[in-house]
Amino acid sequence: MDNKTVETISYLARLKLDKDKKEKITKDLENIIDFVAELQDLNTEDIVPLSNPLEKVAPKREDSVTSRNRKEAFLSNSPESDQDYFMVPKVVE
């Protein structure tokens, strides 16, 4: 785990890290990777990847509209909005 990788990951996650934090997180991540690296020793050849630990399947929902319009509540809870829309910093210049 090097500095560059940590920088890339933090950029992708939009996390701003100062120098001290970056060093600490690099160490933490290294420890985590070392810890789970033990799994690499296991033979998993005939084992189907487990995407979910619950041995259950997803319930399915009927296709009928039950959700109601709560626009005002949602907009008033956002950092910035006008009457109709959520407002965000300009995305394109």
Residues contributing to the site for other proteins (CB under 8 A): 8, 12, 14, 51-52, 54, 56-67, 69-71, 74-75, 80, 82, 84-92
Tell the smallest beta-carbon distance from residue 20 to other proteins (Å).
Answer: 25
Cα–Cα distance measured from residue 92 to residue 12, given in angstroms and rounded to the nearest whole number:
19
Nearer to other proteins, 20 or 83 (CB): 83
CB 75 within 8 A of CB 86: yes
CB 29 within 8 A of CB 6: yes
Tell the smallest beta-carbon distance from residue 90 to other proteins (Å).
Answer: 5
Nearer to other proteins, 40 or 52 (CB): 52
Tell the smallest beta-carbon distance from residue 45 to other proteins (Å).
Answer: 18
Cα–Cα distance measured from residue 31 to residue 1, given in angstroms and rounded to the nearest whole number:
10
Nearer to other proteins, 17 or 75 (CB): 75
Cα–Cα distance measured from residue 57 to residue 82, given in angstroms and rounded to the nearest whole number:
41
- Residue 37's identity, in one-letter code, is A
